[in-house]
Structure 1
């Protein structure tokens, strides 16, 4: 049995684990930091759909190990099988024992497989885990397939459908809700995304429940409630993820009602020397502090930075104020993005809101090559004028514009403060200063408030 002593042990080496470890080393350079992860290679989580279209191979979607080692963090390929909080040790599958002073659990999430759905164990039925070897198996299976049924119209399902459509697959996307991406976007964005998918040849079955997956050995079809049968050579289950917290639970670390590790605003568990970050850690909404199950790499990295900075000394300036949803995706060359709350969620939470939108362009003049329309919507609390949410449809620049809207929301800015913001513009990079879509949307909200 090998024995190793470190100051800071991080279990899990995907986005959250890497950021927690490198931040810890940056803020505590005298400390020895070790990441233990099972996988030799860590895939870029949000890049997984593009393995099957835009990217040529999985090797193009790997987080370089240099991000870890160049920061002065040690990487160990092994698997922690148990944690002893009292002894402050972790035991690995290879038989090693690691003693630690501070522990960060970043074990991520696992694909959710509906236990009520028959046929999920058939051949050529795949989930989307963050596992390079498994994802390579899916690639090989796709090479021998033509008819693909994707179950689930969230980001992963929609992005894979969009990518596979470029390769000429016969794709059907099945979603239980009335619209794709409905948990993230207002209806205007979802409907436009559906139009683009449909024009690319993706067949949509919306508001449909899958009854069973059928086949003798490998999958042959997917049966919907109501009797429709979809032929399938391959099925992709994109039905969400669950926190990977069995290791924490077995160590006696408390979980919440959604199965995530309970943490405070410094990302500490009830044991002040044990932190948890990323998909395995508890999430609260930014506005109402309701427990939620949202999993985003951007959120995970924010949590990881906060944990890394607070390991040895808490700072009230470095706390996590709740998960503020900031989503973006690109479908058929058009960017769809949202931050904060949708109109529906705002109303459900009890806010009295005003919303307005504006249409513009992302470069100027519009005669320039590559100009894309840019549509911006803002959602505002009627009483205070505080910006609660926003959406953008546009070109590539919309991905950064939604981050600007996210900063506006997180810093509790009112629509009146937005109207006086100074934005730099350039013909090749932004909309025109005379008709900047974000400011025009703010003007239209202000008119309604008056």
Structure 2
């Protein structure tokens, strides 16, 4: 189930499930009924089950040996799925119809050069063409594929029907891990998509940022997203030889938001140990109990392409949990709705936790998060993933298990766990959640 910090994985086929009824429609205009109680200082929202239904699971043809897929949806409602098969076997890619009834195997965009982790970013249809590509006929589709030594990147401008030559050494920092991607919803001055990719370097476990100004084919190193003026370097710095070196940090996704007529802002999320000393202690103990959650907000100054983007990062503490708590359970996730409200989500292994803020810069780290109510019998949760829509609407999906004890520190390892996939949604900006 979970992905390790350095790409270990279980292999399986890929299943895709799409909604046949949206929760916001089926629930009507009013918020989900909820009762609030207190558990360990956090608010637990217990909501009535939503009446949403799902279509029949779709087995993606050709997906054997692929695992831990990433998925993006374009403006036409088509889903693009990409899943690693291991290094150097590459990343398998698929396109799924809007209704989830059929899929097309797109092959290996990376020409099997990577396969440790994979991700997508979808941008608007480009008006410019790189050498070796045909004229753009669809949204820009950029991919990344991990080799650990570096990250292979490339793009398609025809909906994934063809991909250009892979760029096997796209990053200027060697020794990389677990990348995340997002595209600016506006074309740059040359007519290409701007693509932003975060990743860990494996030397000091800093969170690096590469920026592409040609739609995801090539990248130039930008500034890291952790600002040492906001979070001391000794609190988050890791080591290639951990243990016994310091434990480091946990990295989540990246979001690019540009309101109509406005400037681009980037958002990411990460977790760290409690303090510099705790970072050292956990490195020695070979633990990763990261109990502090941060939102990274990047203010982007538009620069005509191909000039380097100017990005100023600030880090804001979302939640400072009890020492010993573990919030790096693959992965913390952040999303931003159409009104600009920012949601931060993570799990302690037993509950999905969530906080929200109007801008992503005004969190109160002492305020406890909301605990999304578990379905009946579920006592273990891992791997949250989320998406946001219109103002006040956000969805989170997660693996939940019943049958085991739910005992810390590793409730996910109980052999009696029976796993299912669940979804929760808010339609009132996080005040209530339906599961």
Task: Give the TM-score normalised by the residue count of structure 1.
Answer: 0.26
Higher RCO, Cα 8 Å, sep 6+:
1
Highest Rg: 1 or 2?
A: 1
**Higher share in helix:** 1
Task: Give the TM-score normalised by the residue count of structure 2.
Answer: 0.26
